Chains A and B, each alone.
Chain A
Amino acid sequence: MSILVNKDSKVIVQGFTGSEGSFHASQMIEYGTNVVGGVTPGKGGNYHLELPVFNTVAEAVAETGANVSIIFVPPAFAADAIMEAAAEGVELIVAITEGIPTRDMIQVKSYLSDRKARLIGPNCPGVITPGEAKVGIMPGFVFKSGGIGIVSKSGTLTYEAADQVVKAGLGISTAVGIGGDPIIGTTTKEAVELLMNDPETDGIVMIGEIGGGMEAEAARWIKENPGKPVVGFIAGQTAPPGRRMGHAGAIVGGAEDTAAAKMKIMAECGITVVESPARIGEAMAEALGKVGA
């Protein structure tokens, strides 16, 4: 079953004809994702990558029946693009764009609160259900199909985790890159909850980083709703307080959002917490073995 995206997802690309949009759209098509068209205002009526280009999301949805949109629009226009997709009934919006101003994202979050659309990201690598659909910028070959769900704030660290899971003899049901910004559409807890309820997911890898309280929230939810083994890693154990580590959201602001504090809460909630990022795959295989025994 998997979560969020599968072979029936009909995907449009907003920012389709730009260099990022073009490149990753062709990669997604090559992977086998059902990309049905794209949106670039002012270029409607043309064809790009042998697919129709529309001026508006409304037109694209009406013509193609798209239910998923991936956004490569530059930061200054990205909030508008997300709201457009939500307004036209797109169910899942995956925003790859990095660098959207926080004030814009406050508006977006408020706008989405009474609409049915789910937002993943922004500033994320996207979502992949191996063998079915890649709606993102991740290298598809790393993700082999299987029973482990991955939730992560980071891009390359997600690939690292997936690679380790696969090399440990397991595979991926769905990997969700939720994004590294202070305001994101889908929280760690929400993604974990989706995976916990997915019959095809047997175990969950949860990767967080310094800053914010999302991992603690997810951990407390897991404690109340156990059922599948969860392996957790928090990046930034060595990060100094008050300094931003690349991601806009990766900053230690208080005692509660350090890596150590998060790891403690996660362990107390029954999550297998690994100190070393090299042990994620191994720990998952061990955790599954224990549950099976």
Chain B
Amino acid sequence: MNIHEYQGKEILKSFGVRVQEGMVAETPEQAVEAAKALNEQTGTEWWVVKAQIHAGGRGKGGGVKLAKSLEEVREKASKIIGMQLVTPQTGPEGKKVSKVLIAQDVYYPGASEHQEFYMSVLLDRASGRNIIMYSPEGGMDIEEVAAKSPDKIFKEEIDPKVGLQPFQARKVAFNLGLKGDAFKDMVKFVSALYKAYEATDSSLFEINPVLKTSDDKILAVDSKVNLDDNALYRHPDYAAMRDLAEEDPTEVEAGKSNLNYVKLDGNVGCMVNGAGLAMATMDIIKLAGGDPANFLDVGGTASAKTVEAAFHIILQDPNVKAILINIFGGIVRCDRVAQGVIDAYQNIGDINIPIIVRLQGTNAEEAKKLIDESGLQVYSAIALQEAADLVTEVLKN
């Protein structure tokens, strides 16, 4: 699950990770109030207005602005709130901004130069262990750093038997070239960050940049926090941070029917049991000359009820010109699934696009007979290639 920057910072702060202080606002008036309160709390006289959406690259799209007076806070907040923010990660349609974070200015001048670093915590799938990945090249896209200067990316692997050790935190601080108070503060920062990662069951922390201020403090200027969906049952308070407005409404609805749905841009919808077969079905649609309109896994039991719910979800997409249902019946009998398809079809009524039903496995022949004799505008197939050929055929018409 993704959460907003301001929510991620709240979580980090609760584990003793120093963050750039800020307050969230939904109107320009609230933004000004937040700026005043921040001034009292931190003494900051400049502020950063940051759009809160679930996507990176917000600065590039004009979603992050410096304000040097309360008047500028109002002006910049009113521009950003309500805007359709397009970043390299949102796609061309962008995302609507409904909240901004008013944050303190942490790039104030002082005794030393400030410095930006990159730091993330994530699972290394090859070793099955968490790693801290960090680089002295902060503030840039880490993919860019990896391509241009891979020697500037460091990794520290955490042994799950003992957790992060102090020597490892010191190594991070040394490799980042820190000394004195900044060194000590970085050791504290890394330890607190890793503790937070584990305790929150996160699947990714990405802090870019981590800042060394001109008075040698280490703090998180941004936060990207992804939480492990499978562990949310342990953290009802974090689960409540889910922002449904950031998600595709059809995907949210599918989730309520226990359907695993991801919307894509193509013209052929699909309904499949099992995630692997669902991806394979998307691939075969492409090879058959179509483009998959979605990923949809109906799960282990494809009953009339789930099939009907899946039909409703797929039919909401106006781009869908045909639907391929691909069920491999194992424990579920194909004739039952076929009956489910027929019932759902009749309940919904006017389905005006061709449906191809491929049922293979237990009682596949009986299922094909049921479909063929139903009198519905439904094509039936048993072999996967047959189904693919039918997709090609209906797209031609």
Where the two chains meet, the residues of A that have a C-beta atom closer than 8 Å to any C-beta of B are 27, 75-76, 99-103, 105-107, 109-110, 137-139, 141-142, 152-160, 163-164, 180, 182-183, 207, 209-210, 212-213, 217, 233, 235-240, 242-250, 254, 259, 275-279
- How many chain B residues sit at the interface, stated as a range, is 35 or more
Contacts of B395 in A (CB 8 A): none
- Are A102 and B230 in contact, with the CB atoms below 8 A? yes
| Min distance, Cβ A177 to any Cβ of chain B, angstroms | 9
- Are A138 and B330 in contact, with the CB atoms below 8 A? yes
Where the two chains meet, the residues of B that have a C-beta atom closer than 8 Å to any C-beta of A are 89, 123, 125-126, 128-130, 143, 159-161, 198, 201, 203, 228-231, 233-234, 260, 262, 264, 266, 272-287, 291-292, 295, 297, 328-331, 360-362, 383-385, 388
Q: A245-B275, A276-B287, A277-B280 are in contact. Are A102 and B203 (CB under 8 A)?
A: yes
Complex Cα spacing A13 to B224, Å: 41
Instruction: Show 16 A/B contacts (Cβ-Cβ < 8 Å), sorted by A.
Output: A102-B201, A102-B228, A103-B198, A106-B128, A139-B330, A156-B272, A156-B274, A159-B361, A160-B277, A183-B128, A213-B125, A238-B279, A245-B278, A246-B279, A250-B275, A276-B284
- Are B331 and A27 in contact, with the CB atoms below 8 A? yes
Q: A101-B234, A139-B330 are in contact. Are A243 and B283 (CB under 8 A)?
A: no
- Are B128 and A276 in contact, with the CB atoms below 8 A? no
Choice from A163, A213, A243 contacting B262 with Cβ under 8 Å: A243
Contacts of A217 in B (CB 8 A): 126
Minimum CB distance partner of B287 in chain A: A276
Contacts of A75 in B (CB 8 A): 230
Choice from A76, A100, A105, A245 contacting B128 with Cβ under 8 Å: A105
Choice from B276, B280, B329 contacting A180 with Cβ under 8 Å: B276
- Are B203 and A278 in contact, with the CB atoms below 8 A? no
Minimum CB distance partner of A181 in chain B: B230
Q: A153-B276, A239-B279 are in contact. Are A110 and B330 (CB under 8 A)?
A: no
Q: A235-B283, A276-B388 are in contact. Are A240 and B264 (CB under 8 A)?
A: yes
Contacts of B123 in A (CB 8 A): 102, 106, 182-183
Minimum CB distance partner of A217 in chain B: B126
- Are A154 and B275 in contact, with the CB atoms below 8 A? yes
Minimum CB distance partner of B199 in chain A: A103
Report how many A-B pairs have Cβ atoms within 8 Å: 165
- Are B128 and A109 in contact, with the CB atoms below 8 A? yes
- Are A233 and B328 in contact, with the CB atoms below 8 A? no
Minimum CB distance partner of B198 in chain A: A103
| Min distance, Cβ A261 to any Cβ of chain B, angstroms | 15
Q: A141-B362, A153-B276, A159-B361 are in contact. Are A100 and B283 (CB under 8 A)?
A: no
Q: A156-B330, A245-B262 are in contact. Are A209 and B276 (CB under 8 A)?
A: yes
Complex Cα spacing A164 to B382, Å: 12
Contacts of A237 in B (CB 8 A): 282-283, 286
Complex Cα spacing A279 to B383, Å: 11
Complex Cα spacing A244 to B280, Å: 15
Additional A-B contacts beyond A154-B274, A154-B276, A183-B125 (15; CB < 8 A): A27-B331, A142-B330, A164-B384, A182-B123, A209-B276, A237-B282, A237-B286, A238-B264, A238-B291, A245-B279, A246-B276, A246-B278, A249-B125, A276-B385, A277-B283
Complex Cα spacing A75 to B232, Å: 12
Minimum CB distance partner of B283 in chain A: A237
Contacts of A240 in B (CB 8 A): 262, 264
| Min distance, Cβ B393 to any Cβ of chain A, angstroms | 15
Choice from A107, A233, A246 contacting B297 with Cβ under 8 Å: A246
- Are B328 and A159 in contact, with the CB atoms below 8 A? yes
Contacts of B128 in A (CB 8 A): 105-106, 109-110, 183
| Min distance, Cβ B357 to any Cβ of chain A, angstroms | 16
| Min distance, Cβ B57 to any Cβ of chain A, angstroms | 13
Minimum CB distance partner of B159 in chain A: A110
- Are B331 and A137 in contact, with the CB atoms below 8 A? yes
| Min distance, Cβ A178 to any Cβ of chain B, angstroms | 11
| Min distance, Cβ A103 to any Cβ of chain B, angstroms | 5
- Are B274 and A157 in contact, with the CB atoms below 8 A? yes
Complex Cα spacing A209 to B277, Å: 10
Contacts of B297 in A (CB 8 A): 246
Among B229, B262, B275, B330, find the residue whose CB has the most chain A CB atoms closer than 10 A. B275
Contacts of B231 in A (CB 8 A): 101-103
Contacts of A183 in B (CB 8 A): 123, 125, 128
Choice from A109, A238, A246 contacting B260 with Cβ under 8 Å: A246
